[in-house]
Amino acid sequence: QKVSVEVLDHLEHLALVDFRDSEGVERLQKAIEFADQLHEVNTDGVEPMDSVLEDRCLYLREDDVTEGNCTKELLENAREKVEEYFVAPPGNIPLPKLEE
Amino acid sequence: AALKDGLRSQVSAALKEGRVTPTELCQRCLALIKSTKFLNAYITVAEETALKQAEESEERYKRGQPLGILDGIPIAVKDNFNTAGIETTCASNMLKGYISPYNATVVQKLLDHGAVLLGKTNLDEFAMGSGSTDGVFGPVRNPWSYSKQYKEKSVPRSHSADAESKWVITGGSSGGSAAAVSSFTCFAALGSDTGGSTRNPAAHCGVVGLKPTYGLISRHGLIPLVNSMDVPGILTRCVDDAAVLLGSLAGHDPKDSTTIQDDFKPFELPSLTDVSKLSIGIPKEYHAPGLSSEILALWSKAADLFKNAGAKVVEVSLPHTPYSIVCYHVLCTAEVASNMARFDGLEYGHRSAMKDSTESMYAATRREGFNDVVRGRILSGNYFLLKQNYEKYFVKAQKVRRLIANDFVKVFRSGVDVLLTPTTLSDAAPYMEFIQEDNRTRSAQDDILTQAANMAGLPAINVPTALSERGLPVGLQFIGRSFQEKQLLTVAKWFEKQVQFPVIQLEEVKKHDNGAFQHQKSASFS
C-alpha cells in the first residue's frame, strides 16, 4: 500500500525536511514495511513503556533561578542577530505544495 | 611510560612517581595522533588547550596534589558531546563551526578530575549508523587494518593499491573513539550508546566498551538521539580502566532529571578467583541469523570456560529479541523526529541563505544541513507519529518495548547474574563491502545483538576476546542487572584475564613508544 501524495506533502510540512527524490519516498515505503513486523507481536493487555525508570520519581529541582545571564554566549552561535534578538525571515507564509 | 599501559596500575603510578610527566604524555599522544591521521579518528584536535591542561596537571603533581587517578591522563571525546570553546559538529554540516558554550556534564567531570582533553572523535552523522562511515568528515578506519596481525592473514597480492582498498571499518557510531583508544592515541574515550554504538565499535577495534545502566550517567550536554535510550559510553583498553572512568562519571546530575538520585560509590574491582557462585545465562535467541560460525564457536568456548571454572551456565530465553530491532526502528525514528526539530538555523548551526519565509528558511537549512540518513529517519519518525499511525506504530512499539524489558526481568529473577552473548555478527567488514548496503539495512543487521540492552536500559559491556581468522578482533558481550555495574565489571574482568587478548602490533605506535615497561604481553593489566 503506497503512501499517498497528500501524506507525503503533509510529512514534508511537519518535518520541514524534503524527500528530495523518489529514492527518499522509496526509503519511507521500506521503513513502513519494516515497521509492520511489529503487528506480529501480541500485545493484548500490555501497557506502553515510556521509560525504563518508570518505577522511580524523577528529580525535580526547586523553582529557583540558579543560572542565566549568558545572552552574549548564546548569541555567539547565531548567524543573524540584531542587538539581543535572533532574526528570522517573515513568518506566516506557507510552504509551497509538493509537486508530484 | 608505555602508551599501552593500563591507567590504574601503570600510568598513574608513573605520573605520581615522576617517571613521566603529563606534558610528555600529552605530547606523545598528540604526535601519535598526527602520525595516525590516516585513520581519520579525530575531527578536532585541541592541541593548545590539551597542552595547557597537561601543564596544569604537571604543577599539581609537582606539589604532590594530583586530583586522582585521571589527573594528567589524555582522553578523547566523541563529537556529539558539547565541549566549551571547542567545535562540536556531530559529523554534520548542520553543526559545522558550532562552538559549544558549555561542557557536557561528563566532559566537565573528566576535566574536574584533571583529565587532558585531546580532541573530538569522528562518528556517523548525529550518531546514526553502525559503521562510522556516514559522517561529513569521511569514514573512520579501523587501526587493525594496519596491524601486523591483519596484514599477515591477508592474501598477498602484487598490486600495492590493494592495501588501500582492504581497510576495514571500525563499526559505529562511536568509531572514532574506539579507533583512538585502539591506536593508543588516548587512554580512554567517551562514546555514546543508543543501539550499540559503543559496544559495536569496541568489538571491531578490540577495546573494552561499556554501556552503563540508563540513568546512571548524566546525558546533559550529549546531543540527544533517543532520549529514553541514550547513554554516554566508556571505551578503554581494559576493564579496570572502565571502572575508573565509571567512578568519575556516574552519579546524579541535577541538570539531567533522568539520572537516578541514589548515591553512587566508585569501586575498585576485585580479582575473582572463585566463580562457583556465579550463574551465567546464555540467551538462545542471540544465536541470530547471520552469526558467523567463528563467533558462535568463540561464544561456546567462553561458556565452557565459565562452566569448567565451576560457574553455573544455563541456557535462557528472551523470546522477544527478534523484535527489538523493529521496535527500535519505530521508537528511534519517532524520537529523532522530535530531537532534530531544534535544528532550524536560527539560534545555532548552519543557516541557509534562503530568506523568503521562516518556514522556507527552516526547510532549506535542514535540507542543506542533514544527510540522507538523518532526513530519512526524521521523515519516517514523523510518519509513525501521525495521528492515524500513532496507536498502530508508536504506542505498539512502546508495548513491545515493555515485553522486551520484561523478558530480561524474568531471566534475572530466575537467578541468572549475568548474560553472555556475542557483540557482533562477524568481525569488521572491509569498507568497500560495507557500503554496498544502505545505512538502515546495515544498522538493522549490526544492532541486533546490542539493541535490546538499550531497550531495557541494562548495563552491558564488550570484552575483546580473540582474533578472527582474518586477524581482526572479536568481542563478547556481558549484560548485567540494572545498576549492578560492579558485578558486571567483576565478571568481565575475570573473563578478560582468562582470554588474554593480544596487543595490536602497529608500526606507528612502535616508533613513538619508548616502552619503559616490560610486561606488555596483554592489553589487560590486573
Longest dimension (CA), chain B: 72
Instruction: Kindly state whether B257 is in contact with chain A, defined as any CB-CB distance less than 8 angstroms.
Output: yes
Sequence ranges of the domains in chain B: 10-152+167-324+396-512
Give the CB-side neighbour count of residue A80, counting CA atoms within 13 A. Answer: 14
Q: Is the pLDDT of residue B277 over 70?
A: yes
Q: Is residue A100 part of a domain?
A: no
Say how far apart CA A13 and CA B111 lie, in whole Å. 43
Mean pLDDT of B181-199: 97
Mean pLDDT of B57-78: 95
User: Do the Cβ atoms of A44 and B393 come closer than 8 Å?
Assistant: no
Number of H helices, E strands in chain A: 3, 2
Q: Distance from B44 to chain A by nearest Cα, in Å? A: 18
Q: Is residue A36 part of a domain?
A: yes
Q: What share of chain A is helix, strand, coil (3-state, %, to 5)?
A: 35, 5, 60
Chain B residues in contact with A41 by the CB 8 A cut-off are 320, 323, 396, 399-400, 403
Q: Which chain A residue's Cα is nearest to B340?
A: A15
* DSSP helix/strand/coil, B418: strand
Chain A residues in contact with B354 by the CB 8 A cut-off are 89
Q: What is the DSSP annotation of B253-314?
A: BTTBTTS--S-----PPP-----TT-EEEEEGGGS-TT--HHHHHHHHHHHHHHHHTT-EEE
pLDDT confidence band for B437 (50 / 70 / 90): confident
pLDDT attached to residue A23? 87
Q: What domain count does chain A have?
A: 1
Mean pLDDT of B243-257: 96
Q: Is the pLDDT of residue B295 over 80?
A: yes
Query: B76 pairs with which residues across the strands?
Result: B119, B189
Q: Do A7 and B386 touch (CB under 8 A)?
A: yes
Residue B166 annotated as catalytic: no
Q: Do A18 and B257 touch (CB under 8 A)?
A: no
pLDDT attached to residue B160? 52
Which of A12, A53, A89 is facing B356, going by the closest CB pair? A89
Q: Is residue A4 part of a domain?
A: yes
The domain in which residue A31 lies consists of 1-40
* DSSP helix/strand/coil, B415: coil
Residue B130 annotated as catalytic: no
Q: Distance from B498 to chain A by nearest Cα, in Å? A: 34
Per residue in B399-427, pLDDT tens?
A: 999 999 999 999 999 999 999 999 999 99
CATH numeric code, B10-152+167-324+396-512: 3.90.1300.10
Chain B residues in contact with A18 by the CB 8 A cut-off are 363, 367, 375
Query: Residues B78, B109, B120, B493: which is the catalytic one?
Result: B78
pLDDT confidence band for B526 (50 / 70 / 90): very low
User: Do the Cβ atoms of B351 and B345 come closer than 8 Å?
Assistant: yes
pLDDT attached to residue A21? 82
Pairing assessment for the beta strands B74-78 and B116-121 based on DSSP bridges: parallel
Q: Is residue A28 part of a domain?
A: yes
Residue B515 has which C-alpha cell? Answer: 616502552
Q: Is the pLDDT of residue A20 over 80?
A: no
Per residue in B358-388, pLDDT tens?
A: 999 999 999 999 999 999 999 999 999 999 9
Which of A10, A41, A70 is facing B400, going by the closest CB pair? A41
pLDDT confidence band for B154 (50 / 70 / 90): confident
User: Do the Cβ atoms of B192 and B222 come closer than 8 Å?
Assistant: yes
- Start-to-end Cα distance in chain B: 17
Q: Average model confidence (pLDDT) for chain B?
A: 92
- Start-to-end Cα distance in chain A: 17
Q: Is residue A15 part of a domain?
A: yes
Pairing assessment for the beta strands B418-422 and B74-78 based on DSSP bridges: unpaired
Say how far apart CA B501 and CA B466 lie, in whole Å. 6
Which of A18, A30, A48 is facing B399, going by the closest CB pair? A48
Q: Is residue A94 part of a domain?
A: no
Per residue in A25-64, pLDDT tens?
A: 999 999 999 999 999 999 999 999 999 999 999 888 889 9
Instruction: Kindly state whether B396 is in contact with chain A, defined as any CB-CB distance less than 8 angstroms.
Output: yes
Q: Identify from A52, A61, A64 which residue to disrupt to test chain B contact, counting B C-beta atoms within 10 A and taking the largest count.
A: A52
Chain B residues in contact with A80 by the CB 8 A cut-off are 351
CB pairs under 8 A between A and B: 182
Per residue in B212-232, pLDDT tens?
A: 999 999 999 999 999 999 999
CB neighbourhood size of B166 (10 A)? 16
Q: In percent, how much of chain B has pLDDT > 90?
A: 87
Pairing assessment for the beta strands B473-479 and B460-467 based on DSSP bridges: antiparallel
Mean pLDDT of B270-284: 95
Q: Is residue A10 part of a domain?
A: yes
Return the H-helix or E-strand segment holding B441. helix B439-446
Instruction: Kindly state whether B517 is in contact with chain A, defined as any CB-CB distance less than 8 angstroms.
Output: no
Query: B154 pairs with which residues across the strands?
Result: none
Instruction: Kindly state whether B211 is in contact with chain A, defined as any CB-CB distance less than 8 angstroms.
Output: no
pLDDT attached to residue B446? 85
Residue B16 annotated as catalytic: no
